[in-house]
Chains A and B, each alone.
Chain A
Amino acid sequence: MAVSTNVNSPQTDVGLAAELGRRFRSNIQTYTIILALVAIWILFAVLTNGAFFSAQNVSNLFRQMTVTSFLAIGMVFVIVTGNIDLSVGKLAGFVSVVAAYFQANVWYQLIPNMPLVAAMLSVIIGVGVGIIWGVLQGYIIAYLNVPAFIVTLGSMFVLNGAILLVTQGRTIPANQPYFSEIAQGYLPPTAGWAIAAVVVVFLFWNMVRSRQSKRRHGFQLPNIALDIVTTIFYAALVIGYVYWVNQYRGIQTPVLLLAITAAIMAYVSNNTRFGRYAYAIGGNREAARLSGINIRRSIFLIFILMGLLSGIAGIVLASYVGYGTTAAGQGYELDAIASAILGGTSTLGGVGTVFGALIGSLIMASLTTGLQMLNVAPAWQYVVKGGVLVLAVFADVYFKRNR
C-alpha cells in the first residue's frame, strides 16, 4: 500500500511522543476509523476463539472486500466532487454478465482452445463496457447538466434491464481456466515474498528520498526516529500480511490487483492535477472555476474513471463468483458509498481519501465475515452494518465538535 508523501512544512523539532500526538490529532479521523477496525477485529477474534484470525479466514476476508473496494475507490472521487453514482453496483453486475456471456458462449465458438486469449479478451471487453458507460454518464452529467443523482439512478434501472436481457434470466457460467484465476488465483509464496521485498525497499527509498528533497529545499526535516518507526511499521504490516496469507495459499490475485489500483489512485488523488482539481471543485466550485479549472472536463473524466473501476470490479466479480447472475452487483453501490463514507469521505464534497475508503471497505467485509462466522442471520447482518455506519459518522461528528 502506498504511503502518501505528505510534505510537511517547517515545524519545530519535538520529541517522538509529542510528534506522534500531534500527528494523531491532525489525522484524528483516519486513526479513529483504524481503531474502529482493530476493535471490530479483536471483538470477532474473541467471539470466535481466534478462528477469525486463521490464515484461511484472513485470506478470504481480503479477497471478499476486493469487488466493493474497486467501487469505493472510484466513489471517493465521485463524492469528493460533490456528486454521487448510484449505478456502480449494477454496472459492475452488467460487466460481470457480459464477461460471463463471452466466456461461456462466444469465445468457445470463435477461438476454441485458447482460454488465455479468451480471458484477456473478456477483460478488455468488460473494462471497455465500463468505460463506455462512464463516458455516456459523464457526458450527460457534465455537459448536459443533468444531476448525477438522477442520471445514475436512471442508469441503474437501465442496467438492471440490460442484465436481464443478457442473462435471459439464467445463470451464465464464468469458471473457465485463466478467467477464474483473476479472482480465485494465488501467487506462489516466493512470488509473495518478492513483492513484499519490493514494497519494503520502496517504502524506505521513499522515506529517504522525501527527506533528501526537504533538505535540499531547506525545509526542516521531520523527526528521523519517527520517520523510521513509521516506515518500519508499514513494512512490518506488509511482511506480516504476506507471511500470514502464505500460511494459507499465498497472496490472492484480486488483492494484489486492488493494492496496485489503490496505490495508483492514491497517487493520482494527491499528485496530479486531475486529483487536485477534484478536491478543489468539491471544496469550492466557484473558486475552482475562477482558478481556470475546466469543471465540466474534470467531472466528465471522473465518471469515466468510475466506469473504468466499475468495469474492473465487474470482471473480478464474475471471476470471483464464477457465474454471471441476474442479481449480480445488487446493492454493491450502497456498500461502496458506505465504505467511502466510513473512510471519512464527506458527503458535502472536498474531503476523502482512497486509503480511508479501503479501510471502510475492510470494515464492511469484516462485519460480513465475522457475523457469518457467528451464524448471525443475514437480516441482522444488515441491521448491524447500518448501525455501524451511522455510529461511525456520529462519532466523527462528535469528535470534531469536541476537539
Chain B
Amino acid sequence: MSEDIILDIRNVTKRFPGVTALDNVSIQIRRGEIHGLCGENGAGKSTLMKILSGVYPHGEYDGTIIYDGKELKLGVGSIRQARDEGIAIVYQELTLVPNMTVGENVFLGKEPLENGAINWSKLYADTRDILAKYRLDVSPQAVVKYLGVGKMQMVEIAKALSEDAKILILDEPTSALTESEIDKLMTILENLRSHGVTCIYITHKLEEFFRITDSVTVLRDGKMVTTQPTSQLTLEKLVNYMVGREMKERFPRGNRHPGEVIFEVNDLHAVDPNETSHKVLNGVSFNLRRGEILGIAGLMGSGRTELVTTIFGEYGKITSGSIRLEGQELNIHNARDAMRYGISLVPEDRKGQGLVLIQSILKNISLANLDQFSGFMRIDADAELVAATQQARSLAVKAPNLQVRVDSLSGGNQQKVVIAKWLLSDPKILIMDDPTRGIDVGAKYEIYKLMNELAERGVSIIMISSELEEVLGMSDRIMVMHEGRSTRTLNIAEATQERIMALATGIADELTPI
C-alpha cells in the first residue's frame, strides 16, 4: 500500500450487555491527515475513542488495531499507556484544574523534576515552547479559571501535545466556542497538520468537516457507513449517510403567526451581583410576540446568557430598565418568581444546571413543579407520575420507563427531559439557552419541531444559539447582542450571516444602515 497509514482499525467489534456498540468497524487513518468522524449520538464514536484511549483495554473488544506499524495492545487501566504511545484525547468537557496555571495544567502528572522537587523554570519554559511552536496564544503563567473557554481549549491541546502526541483526538472541540474562537482553532489545527500531527476530529457541526478535514468516516448504529475524501462529500450526502434516510430540511418551518407583543424588555442594565462594579448588561431592549421564536445571537461573552438568567432572576442585579409581561411590570428576584409569572428557562449547561443526573427521569421532570402535586404535606405520587408520563410521551423521550436515571440517557434525550421539566409549568415564555448544544442531528430536528409546535400553540420562545444557521433557520426575528447591549432586532427576511456577524462584532452599529 502506497499510503502511509498510521492507524489501521480492522474489524473492531465491541459488545455491551444487550447492545453492540461497534459492529465490525474498519477505518484507516493516514499519517498527517485530519480525519473527521461523524455520526449521531449512539453511533459508536465515543466507544471507538474509548478503545483508542485505553478506557476499554485490549481483549475487551474483538478485532485488531495496527498503530504505527504494530498492533496496539493496551492493558487494563492503560489510559496512561495510550498517552505514552502518543495517542492523546481532548475531551468535550474540559479537564483542567481551574485553580492552577496553564503550565501546571500542561505538565500535570509529569512535572519535570530536579532532585525530587519540581523544576518550575523548566516547566514554564517548556510550556512556553509548546505554546509558541503551535502558536497558541496563552500565557504559561495565567491561571486557567480566568481564561475563556476558547483559551482553555488551547491549553487542553497544549497539554495533549506536550506528550509528543502522534495522534490527537478532538471530541467536539467547538461545542462551547464562538465563531471567532472556532476560526482560531481551525488555524491551530492547520498548523498542527503542517507539523505532521494526525488528528481525529469529532463534531456535530457538520460544516466544520468541510472547513478542516481531509477525509470523513461516518458511523451509524455502530457500523461503519463510509469513508470518503472530504472533497467528494456534500452536506446533504453527509446527513444522509448519518441518518440513513433523506432529510429534506435541517430546520423545519412551522406555520407560525406571531400575535401581539406580550413581553417587553426596556433598556435593561445589570451588574454582577458579586462584583457590582462589573456591568454585565448595558442597555438591552427587545420585545417578544405571542407565539414567536426570537433568536438571540452574539459572540460568547456578549451577555446573552447573562441577559436571560437576569430576566429569570438568577444572575445579574438589575440597576435600571424594566421587564414587562402583558403590560405588567415584573419584579423577579429568583427562579420561583419567574416561574410564577409563567417564564421558564432551559439552561445553557444541561448536565450542570438542568438535571440532577443521579435521579430518575420522573424526579427530574417534576422537580421544578412539585407544588402542582403537593397538598399540605404530601406529594401525590400518582398525579406526579401521570403528568410526567404525559410530558415524556409528548416529547418522545426514549427510555424504558421513567425510573431510569437521566445519566444513562443520550444527550438528546437528556435535553428532552430538561425541556419536559420546564414545560410542565405551562409557561407563557420559554427561554432556551443553546438548546441543541452537543446533541445529534436527529435529536436536534425533533427539538426544532417541538419548538415550532409550542410556538403554534401560542408559547413565546426566546432562543439563544451559538450556531448562526440555527438562529437563521428557526427564528422569526433575531436580536443581536454586542458587549452587553442589544444592537438591533432583525426580521428574518433581512437577516443574513454576514449582517448578524457585523452586528455581533460591532463592525456595524445600529445607526449604520446595513
Q: Which residues of A contact B (CB under 8 A)?
A: 5, 7-11, 213-214, 216-217, 219, 267, 271-273, 276-277, 279-280, 283-284, 286-294, 350-351
Contact = CB atoms under 8 A, between A and B. Distances in A.
Contact of A273 (B370, B381, B400): B370
Contacts of A271: 378-379, 381
A287 B356 contact: yes
B336 A280 contact: no
B370 A276 contact: yes
Contacts of A9: 362, 385, 389, 401-403
Contacts of B349: 286
A284 B356 contact: yes
B403 A292 contact: no
Contacts of A284: 352-353, 355-357
Most chain B CB neighbours (cut-off 10 Å) among A7, A11, A350: A7
Those 7 A-B pairs whose CB atoms lie nearest each other, nearest first: A283-B356, A291-B368, A9-B401, A292-B336, A292-B335, A284-B356, A9-B402
A37 B308 CA distance: 52
B379 A289 contact: no
A193 B408 CA distance: 46
B379 A280 contact: no
Given A8-B403, A276-B367, A280-B367, A286 B381 contact: no
A288 B356 contact: yes
B128 interface: no
B489 to A, nearest CB: 27
A280 B368 CA distance: 10
Interface of B: 312, 314, 334-336, 338-339, 345, 347, 349, 352-359, 362-363, 367-368, 370-371, 374, 377-379, 381-382, 385-386, 389, 400-403, 421
Contact of A272 (B345, B377, B389, B421): B377
A291 B359 CA distance: 14
Contacts of B314: 289-290
B379 A288 contact: no
Contact of B385 (A217, A272, A292, A293): A217
Contacts of A217: 382, 385-386
Nearest to B313: A292
A8 B400 CA distance: 11
Given A276-B367, A283-B357, A292-B368, 14 more contacts: A9-B362, A217-B385, A267-B378, A276-B363, A276-B370, A279-B356, A283-B356, A283-B359, A284-B352, A286-B352, A287-B356, A287-B367, A290-B312, A350-B358
Nearest to B351: A284
| Most chain A beta carbons < 10 A, residue from B335, B356, B357, B371 | B356
A57 to B, nearest CB: 39
B357 A272 contact: no
Nearest to B309: A290
B334 A292 contact: yes
A382 to B, nearest CB: 33
Nearest to B377: A272
A273 B345 CA distance: 21
B352 A7 contact: no
B400 A11 contact: yes
A307 B328 CA distance: 44
Nearest to B389: A9
Contacts of B381: 5, 7, 271
A272 B401 contact: no
Nearest to A350: B358
Nearest to B382: A213
A139 to B, nearest CB: 20
A95 to B, nearest CB: 26
Given A217-B386, A289-B335, A11 B401 contact: yes
B367 A288 contact: yes
A160 B362 CA distance: 45
B347 A7 contact: no
Contacts of B377: 272
Contacts of A287: 352-356, 367
B388 to A, nearest CB: 9
A4 to B, nearest CB: 10
A291 to B, nearest CB: 4
A280 B363 CA distance: 9
B359 A279 contact: yes
A11 B404 CA distance: 12
A345 to B, nearest CB: 13
Contact of A291 (B335, B358, B374, B386): B335
Nearest to A279: B359
A155 B314 CA distance: 33
B190 to A, nearest CB: 37
Nearest to B356: A283
Contacts of B389: 9
Given A289-B335, A291-B368, A292-B336, A272 B379 contact: yes
A281 B48 CA distance: 35
B184 to A, nearest CB: 29
A279 B367 CA distance: 10
Contacts of B347: 290
29 contacts: A8-B403, A9-B401, A10-B401, A11-B400, A213-B382, A217-B386, A271-B379, A271-B381, A272-B374, A276-B367, A276-B370, A279-B359, A280-B356, A280-B363, A280-B367, A283-B359, A284-B353, A284-B355, A284-B356, A287-B356, A287-B367, A288-B356, A290-B354, A292-B334, A292-B335, A292-B336, A293-B367, A294-B334, A351-B358
Contacts of B336: 292, 294
B35 to A, nearest CB: 33
A290 B385 contact: no
A20 B436 CA distance: 39
A276 B356 contact: no
B374 A273 contact: yes
B464 to A, nearest CB: 15
Contact of B345 (A5, A214, A290, A350): A290
Contacts of A11: 400-401
B359 A280 contact: yes
Contacts of A350: 356, 358-359
Contacts of B400: 11
B403 A290 contact: no
Contacts of B339: 292
